[in-house]
Amino acid sequence: MELIDLALIWALIIGFGIIMYVLMDGFDLGQGILFPFAPDEDARDVMMNSVAPVWDGNETWLILGGAGLLAAFPLVYSVFLPALYIGVFLMLTGLIFRGIAFEFRFKARTSKYLWNWAFAGGSILASFAQGVVVGNYIQGFAVENGVFVGGPFDWLTPFTVLTGLGLLAGYALLGSTWLIMKSEGYIQDWAYKITLPLLGAVLAVFVIISIWTPFVNPAVWDRWFSNIQIIWVLPAMTAFFAWVLFRSVQKRQDGMPFVATMGIFVFTFLGLVASKWPYVVPPDYTIYDASSAWESQLFLLLGLLFVIPIVLAYTAWTYWVFRGKVKAGVGYH
């Protein structure tokens, strides 16, 4: 009956969903991470206005990630969430505060600073928690008979804290390069100024993670230093985009830094997947072990092939509607 390798197709779709989420929500979470450091209140207004019309759509990719995993790889859903129980709670709390800050900050006056903190704190908490998930994926889970059997704080280790900080820096970088594209004047100058130090931080974390990972998980070491040399293309591409980013910031090209940062993210993500493939619940379960019923994967796939292009089309359309620079002093009320 299994005529097509649906598990593989689904792995590609989920991978696409995750990368969409990381890129899109990444730049708006990045605004929140950079919020406390912004030069002034006007700059904060511009930062928030630049993402206000699209953040909800961006976050919907996260929900698709959750629901899509439940549909296609239920084992991932039912192991990751219990294993990361407290971490998930913290992430959701962060997303709640940051979500309502959009609505309330511009209505507030004397209490505005409270919503600034809600937006910044929420974004930082959510980003850090997502980075921790990445660390856990590299680290692996204590699973027996398809059920998580570890303790409540297994998710929090020095290694996962490092990946948490790494993603924080990464999202901040997406945020600053997005802001370069969407702002002008002194706000843009500031965004240019912070971009290279952020890039430095991101690269530093990459290097530490790369050295550390083999100690956390020897299988990854094998993957990189045994037979298949072709995967070294991936870190090479990451380095290439880092260089493009560096050059374009120096030349002050408005749009290029953001594109280059997206490139860094895409190839880092592919590198991560290549380290683990085909395991989705490391160390023991592959995409085939984690799959839902073939009929269920097919039923959803047929619909998605039809609906996702439409979603992408109208998403692109809203970005087009809200294209261009966001001007300081243009109100959101």
Residues of the shown chain interacting with ligand HDD in the complex, contacts defined by CB under 6 A:
56, 59-60, 63
Of 111 and 250, CB closest to another protein: 111
Q: Pick out residues in 130-189 that bind another protein (CB under 8 A).
A: 146-150, 152
What is the distance between the alpha carbons of residues 184 and 328, in angstroms, rounded to a whole number?
Answer: 9
What is the distance between the alpha carbons of residues 256 and 177, in angstroms, rounded to a whole number?
Answer: 8
Q: Pick out residues in 110-129 that bind another protein (CB under 8 A).
A: 110-111
CA angle (89 as vertex; 173, 214 as ends), nearest 5? 55
Of 150 and 283, CB closest to another protein: 150
Q: Pick out residues in 21-50 that bind another protein (CB under 8 A).
A: 49
In the complex, least distance from residue 144 CB atom to ligand HDD, rounded to whole angstroms: 28
* Binding of residue 309 to another protein (CB under 8 A): no
Binding segment (CB under 8 A) for another protein, from list 72-80, 165-173, 210-218, 260-268: 72-80
With beta carbons less than 8 A apart as the criterion, state whether 7 and 291 touch.
yes
* Binding of residue 304 to another protein (CB under 8 A): yes
Residue type (1 letter), 130: Q
12 interface partner picked from another protein, ligand HDD, none, CB below 5 to 8 A per type: none
In the complex, least distance from residue 269 CB atom to another protein, rounded to whole angstroms: 21
In the complex, least distance from residue 158 CB atom to another protein, rounded to whole angstroms: 22
Q: Which residues of 14-51 are buried (b: 16+ CB within 10 A; e: fewer)?
A: beebbbbbbbbbbbbbbbbbbbeebeeeebbbbbbbbb
Q: Which two tokens stand for residue 22?
A: 């990381």
The DSSP secondary structure of 135-161, one letter per residue, reads: HHHHH---EETTEE-S-TTTT--HHHH
What is the distance between the alpha carbons of residues 153 and 85, in angstroms, rounded to a whole number?
Answer: 9
Quick one: which of 4, 37, 40, 89 contacts another protein (CB under 8 A)? 89
